[in-house]
Amino acid sequence: MGIQVNIAKGYYRNKEVSGIFPLHKPYNAKTSCITIKNPNPEPNAPPIQRITIEPSDFTLLDEHGQELGEHVVFDTNSKTGTIAAATDYEQVFVSDETEEEAMLRISDSFLMLDEITDACAKNNIRGLVVSGPPGIGKSFGVEKQLEQANMFRKIASEDPKYEIISGGISSIGLYQKLYYNRSKEHVLVFDDADGVFEDTESLNLLKAALNSGDKRRICWNKESRVLNVGDLPESFDFEASVIFLTNIDFEKSIASGSKIGSHLAALMSRCHYLDLEIGSMRDRLLRIKQCCRDGMLNSFNFTKQQEADIVQFVFDNSEHIREISLRMVKKIADLMKADPTGWQRLAEATTLKKEAHFRILLAKRATDVAKRGIVLSEYE
């Protein structure tokens, strides 16, 4: 029978619906709808029906009619169309987590990133994929570790043995970068350069660079003016390490059967994979709180209260800020530095979505009108 839904009160075509029905699609919070299979539809009504409903007005049941617990995730079989339910253990875990425990968990993830990056710099690990949302400090942490690993080279005014590639890159450009960073001491970092995952030619080069064999031979078997001009060989052995910093959740993309899923699976099988586990809004906010507490804003020479005010502004407006990230915190800090007394007005105008900004302006207008009314009443 599969998953069922027990509807206390819902609406289909403005008519009230209640009862137990087979679930066709899970609840969609954006549309406030859940899709059912109605075994006894009214005349001229289809069996598949989208029911408008509030989350509190339905419960989910398993195939035996037992109510499903919280934190359930669904998977739809593309061939049979049946829906299977499973427990989201991450959500179960974090639901009982205090703020301090959550920040400790997040901190531990970044400490592991430091350790594995250092292992790449020492050529103990040849491939690493780091997944996490934008603006949480992936790039900063990796670059800091690589700078430390190259500290003595920097003191000696020598070029560092790592290179960071951001944005797009062609397959022949990738071949060049791999060649120039081929030795054991080198680390090649792809930061937000996800286009390489979609290009078959680039992917084949990366698969060769990350091969698990003792020798990693990379070849370019096509005629190329770039190779001739740059005096590059048609093949070479690659001994360096590669790090990918990405916003893509490899596990979810592979499981969903996305068009690049097979490409991601090929890289994942050749690399260590570290998910920084900052998927929720709560975790992003706590990451911001953690970084500010650890000194991210020290260079601004703010008081503790000023730093606390910035963090509180982000927390209070988290639903309306255009991007919840460490970058956004520094933007707000710039405004406070420029105008210590009027920074909040500037932040509301520049960091909030337009609708939220006008909502704040309307609230202030109403407050001003009320104040004027009180003043006038004193003279009546």
With cut-offs at 50, 70 and 90, classify the pLDDT of residue 71: low
Domains of the chain: 4-93 (no CATH), 97-275 (3.40.50.300), 281-285+298-372 (no CATH)
Q: What is the pLDDT of residues 101-127, one digit of tens each?
A: 889 999 999 999 999 999 999 999 999
Percent pLDDT > 90 in the chain is: 52
In this predicted structure, the answer to whether residue 323 has a pLDDT above a threshold of 60 is: yes
Compute the chain's Rg from CA coordinates: 27
Average pLDDT over residues 12-30: 89
3-state SS class at 84: strand
Strand 83-87 to 187-191 pairing: unpaired
Q: Dihedral angle at the C-alpha atoms of 308, 312, 315, 318, nearest 10 degrees? A: -120
- The sign of the CA dihedral 246, 252, 256, 262 is positive
Q: What is the structure's pLDDT at 379?
A: 47
Average pLDDT over residues 183-206: 91
Looking at residue 67, the DSSP 8-state letter turns out to be B
With cut-offs at 50, 70 and 90, classify the pLDDT of residue 90: low
User: Which residues 6+ apart lie within 8 Å of 232 measured at CB?
Assistant: 175, 176, 179, 220, 226
In this predicted structure, the answer to whether residue 1 has a pLDDT above a threshold of 60 is: no
Q: Which amino acid is at 7?
A: I
Average pLDDT over all residues of the chain: 87
- The sign of the CA dihedral 80, 82, 85, 90 is positive
In this predicted structure, the answer to whether residue 28 has a pLDDT above a threshold of 80 is: yes
Q: What is the pLDDT of residues 252-262, one digit of tens each?
A: 888 777 788 88
In this predicted structure, the answer to whether residue 188 has a pLDDT above a threshold of 60 is: yes
Contact 319, 300 (CB under 8 A): no
Q: What is the pLDDT of residues 141-159, one digit of tens each?
A: 999 999 999 999 889 888 8
In this predicted structure, the answer to whether residue 84 has a pLDDT above a threshold of 80 is: no
Average pLDDT over residues 358-365: 78
In this predicted structure, the answer to whether residue 92 has a pLDDT above a threshold of 80 is: no
Which is more confident, 298 or 368? 298
